[in-house]
Structure 1
Amino acid sequence: MGVSLRNVSKEFGAARVIEDVSMDIPTGGFAVFVGPSGCGKSTLLRMIAGLEETSGGTIAIEDTDVTHVEPAERGVAMVFQSYALYPHLSVFDNMAFSLRLAKTPRAKMREMVREAARILKLDDHLDKKPSQLSGGQRQRVAIGRAIVRQPKVFLFDEPLSNLDAELRVQMRLELTRLHRQIGATMIYVTHDQVEAMTLADKIFVLKGGIVQQAGAPLDLYDDPDNRFVAGFIGSPAMNFIAADVIGRDAGDVVLRTRGAEAHEFRAAVADPGLATGAEVEIGIRPEHLRLDAAGMPVRVEVAEELGDVSYLYTRMADGTEIIVERHGSRDRLDGETVSIATDPRHVLVFDRQGQRLR
C-alpha cells in the first residue's frame, strides 16, 4: 500500500482539527483531498510529510510506519503553492539542488536532471533563471525538483492556485500525463472540486477534519452519502429544495415542496424508515432538469449562454434558486416563467441531518 492512515488525529491546544481519519491510497494511485478552507486537508498532507506531528494514530508509507520518522527520511517530496525557487540559480541548478546536497556524482546528477527536464518539457530552459520563465514553467521546475529525488510519494499542496485560469487547465493536463508516465503515488490538496474531479482516481472529501466520503470521482458525483458531498462535488452545484413526504406510489416516494405553490416530485428511494410527514430536502443536479409544461413553475432571472450549453438561473415562488442546464437551445428566456421536471431516479433525498436516504 502506498500510504495508509489509521485513526489519525491532530490537535492544536484544545482545538481538534483532524478527527480519527483512516484511509488507504494504493501504490501508484492519485488521491485528492478536497474541501472548503479550514477543513484540515493541508494539515493532513503536512502530517503525511512529517511537517506536523500526529496527536494520535499511525501513518505508513509503503507498509513502513513513519509516524515518528523525520520528514527527510520518509521518502516523500512536496510541491507547494509557492514555487520556492532560488532566483539566482538556473533551472538546472534549482532542480539539482537536493542532489548536490546528497553529494550525487556529477554525471549521475546531470542524467537525472535532464531526464526530469525531458518529462516536463524543460529541456530548452535549463540555463535560464526563474525570472525568465512563465508561471507554468516555474511550477514545472518545482515539480522537476521533486522528481529528481525519486520519492515514494509526491505531495502537492494547492500547486496551481497561483496560476491563471488557462494555465491551470494546462497544468492539470500535464499533471495527469506526468502521473501516467512515472506511475508514482501522488496526493494532491485543493479546494477546487473541478481539479479534484479531473485529476483524482480517488477523492477524499473533508469537512471539519472528518472525511465525509471517499471514492472515485464519478461515484461521489452520482452517489453522494450526504448533503455536503452532494453540494460540494459538481459544477454548477446541485439544487436543493425543502419538501415533505406525502406517501408512496408504485415503489417511489412522493414528495411535496413547501410553500404556497407546492409541487410534487417522485424519488426512487426504498428506505422503509422514510415515513409520511417526514421533513426532507431533495437534491437534483442541473443537467437532470428539463423544461416540461406539466412540471414545477419557476421564473428565469438570468440565462447564461455558453454556446452548446446554457444555464438558466431560476427561482421558485418561495425564493429558492434552481439552476437548469440546457443543450442545443438558442431561445432567450430571461424574465419568463417556465416549468421544469425530472425523473424519479435523478431525485436524491436527504434527512434533516443531511444524511442521504436510499
Structure 2
Amino acid sequence: MGISLHNVRKSFGPVGVIHDVSMEIPTGDFAVFVGPSGCGKSTLLRMIAGLEDTTSGTIFIEGRDVTNVEPAQREVAMVFQSYALYPHLTVFENMAFSLRLKKTAKSHINEMVHGAARILHLEDHLQKRPSELSGGQRQRVAIGRAIVRQPKVFLFDEPLSNLDAELRVQMRLELAKLHKQIGATMIYVTHDQVEAMTLADRIFVLKGGVVQQAGKPLELYDNPDNQFVGGFIGSPAMNFLPGRVLGRQEETLRVAVDGAGKELLAKVSANLSDGTSVRIGVRPEHLQPVTNGIPATVELEEDLGGVSYLHARLAGGQAIVVETRERRKSLDGQTIYLGASAEDVLVFAEDGRRLR
C-alpha cells in the first residue's frame, strides 16, 4: 500500500481543521484531493509531507509509520503553487540543487538531471535562468527538481493555479503523461474539479475537513453519496430542485417538482412516506425535451460550438441549466418542456444524504 491514513486529525488550538480522516492510496495511484477553499485539502497534503504536525492518528508511507518522521526522511517530494526557483541559478543548477546538498557524485547528478529534462522536454533550456522561461517551463523545472530526488511519493499543491487557461490544459496533459512514464504515487491538490476528473485514478472530495466521498472520477460523477458531491463534481453543476414524494410506481419513486405542476420518476428503493420533502438532482445533459414535461422559460443561451447551455427558470423560480448538442434557432425567452429518465434522476434527503 502506498499511503495510508488512519483516523488523522489536525487542530490549530481549539479549532479542528481535519476530522478523523482515514484513506488508502495504492502504490502508483494518482490521487486528487478536491474541494472548496478552506476544506483542509492543502493541510492534509502538508501533513503527509511532514510540514504540519499531526494532532492525532497515524500516517504510513509504503508500510512505514512516518507520523513523527522529519520531512526530509519521508521520501516525498513536494511541488508548490509558486515555482520557488532560485533566480540566479540555471535550470540545470536548480534541478541539481538537492542532489548537490547531499554531496551526490557529479556523474549521477548529470545522469538524473538530463534524464528528468528529457521527460519534461527541457533539454534545450538547461543553461537558461528562470527569467528566460515561460510559466509552464518554470513549473516543469519545479517538477524536474522533484523527479531527480527519486521520491516514493510526489505531492502537488495546486501547481497550475498561476498558469493561464491554455497552459493549464497543456500542463494537465503533461502531468498525466509523466505519471504514466514514471509510475510513482502522486497526490494532487486542487479546487478545480475539471483537473480532478481528468487527472485522477481516485478522487477524495473534502468539505470542512471531512472526506465526503472517495472513488474513481466517473463513480463520483454518476453515483454521488450526497448533494455536496453531486453539486461539486461536474461542470456545469448538477441541477437541484425542491420536491416531494408522491408515492411509488412499481420499481420507481414518483416525485413532484415544487411549483412545476409535474412529476418525475426516480429509481429509488428507499421507503419514503408520501409528502416527504426531498431534493431532486438531475445533471444538465440528462434533461431532455418532452411533450408533456416540466415547463421552463429560457433566459440565456450559451453557444460554445459543439455544445450549448440553456439557462432557464421554472414557474416556481428555480434556475436550471440544460445541455444540448442540437443546432437550432435561439430559444431565448421561449418555454421548453423537460423530462429525464428514471435512471438519471437522483433524490436527496433534506440533510443532503443520497436516497437510494
Q: TM-score band (shorter)?
A: over 0.9
Distance (Å, rounded) in 2 between the aligned partners of 1:298 and 1:337: 5
Unaligned runs of 5+ in 1: none
2:351 maps to what in 1?
353
SS of aligned partner of 1:242: strand
Distance of 2:234 and 2:327 partners within structure 1: 22
CA distance in 2, matches of 1:200, 1:331: 38
Once the two structures are overlaid, the 10-residue window that deviates more, 335-344 or 152-161, is 335-344
User: What do residues 128-183 of structure 1 show as CA deviations (whole Å, max 9, x unaligned)?
Assistant: 00000000000000000000000000000000000000000000000000000000
How does 1:29-40 map onto structure 2 within 5 Å?
Answer: 29-40=29-40
What per-residue deviation string (whole Å, max 9, x for no partner) do you get for residues 245-271 of structure 1? 011112211111112x42111101011
Residue aligning to 1:290: 288
C-alpha distance in 2, partners of 1:13/1:205? 25
Distance (Å, rounded) in 2 between the aligned partners of 1:294 and 1:31: 44
> 1:354 corresponds to which letter in structure 2?
G
Residue 292 (structure 1) shift: 1.4
Determine the structure 2 residue equivalent to 1:97.
97
Partner of 2:176: 176
SS at match of 2:84: coil
Give CA-to-partner distance per residue, 1:258-298, whole Å, 9 cap, x none.
12x421111010112x2211100000000001111211110
For residues 15 and 331 of structure 1, what CA distance do their matches in structure 2 show? 55
- 1:59 aligned counterpart, secondary structure: strand
- 2: distance between equivalents of 1:138 and 1:268? 50
Give the corresponding residue for 1:127. 127
- Asked if residue 322 in structure 1 is aligned to residue 325 in structure 2, the reply is no
Q: 1:191-228 deviations in whole A, cap 9, x for unaligned? A: 00000000000000000000000000000000000000
Residues 1:280 and 2:278 aligned together: yes
The alignment status of 1:300 with 2:266, answered yes or no, reads: no
| 1:162-241 to 2 correspondences below 5 Å | 162-241=162-241
Cα distance in 2 between the residues matched to 1:309 and 1:236: 12
- How far, CA to CA, are the matches of 2:33 and 2:103 in structure 1? 35
Counterpart of 1:136 in structure 2 is 136
> What residue is the counterpart of 2:270 in the other structure?
271
> Retained in 2: the 8 A contact 1:303–1:310?
yes
Aligned partner of 1:262 in structure 2 is: 261
Output the CA distance in 1 between the equivalents of 2:14 and 2:190.
26
Query: CA shift at 1:324, angstroms?
Result: 0.4
Letter aligned with residue 84 of structure 2: A
Q: Distance in 2 between matches of 1:308 and 1:164?
A: 23
SS of the residue 2:329 aligns to: coil
Offset of residue 317 of structure 1: 1.1
1:335 positional shift: 1.0
Work out the number of aligned pairs and report it: 356
Contact 1:293 1:338 in 2 (8 A): no
Query: 2:106 and 2:285 mapped to 1: Cα distance?
Result: 57
Deviations 1:300-320 (A, max 9, x none): 000100112100000011211
Once residues 126 and 76 of structure 1 are traced to their aligned partners in structure 2, the CA distance between those partners, rounded to angstroms, is 24
Write the distance in 2 (CA, Å) between the matches of 1:286 and 1:117. Answer: 43
Task: Supply the distance in 2 between the matched residues of 1:262 and 1:33 (Cα, whole angstroms).
Answer: 41
Unmatched tracts of structure 2, length 5 or more: none
Instruction: Measure, in 1, the Cα distance between the counterparts of 2:295 and 2:156.
Output: 46
Secondary structure of residue in 1 paired with 2:300: strand
1:328 shift after superposition: 2.7
In 2, distance between residues paired with 1:51 and 1:256?
A: 51
The corresponding residue for 2:338 is 340
Shift of 1:122: 0.2
Question: Corresponding residue for 2:310?
Answer: 312
Q: TM-score, normalised by structure 2?
A: 0.99
> Under a length normalisation based on structure 1, what TM-score does the superposition of the two structures give?
0.99
Asked if 1:110 is matched to 2:110, the reply is: yes
1:27 pairs with 2:27: yes
Amino acid at match of 2:95: M
Once residues 346 and 331 of structure 1 are traced to their aligned partners in structure 2, the CA distance between those partners, rounded to angstroms, is 27
SS in structure 2 of the partner of residue 46 of structure 1:
helix
User: Which position in structure 1 is the counterpart of 2:59?
Assistant: 59
Partner letter of residue 263 of structure 1?
A: K
Q: Distance in 1 between matches of 2:355 and 2:176?
A: 35
Counterpart Cα distance in 2 of 1:9 and 1:35: 18
CA distance in structure 1 between the partners assigned to 2:265 and 2:69 by the alignment = 55
Q: Report SS of the residue matched to 1:173.
A: helix
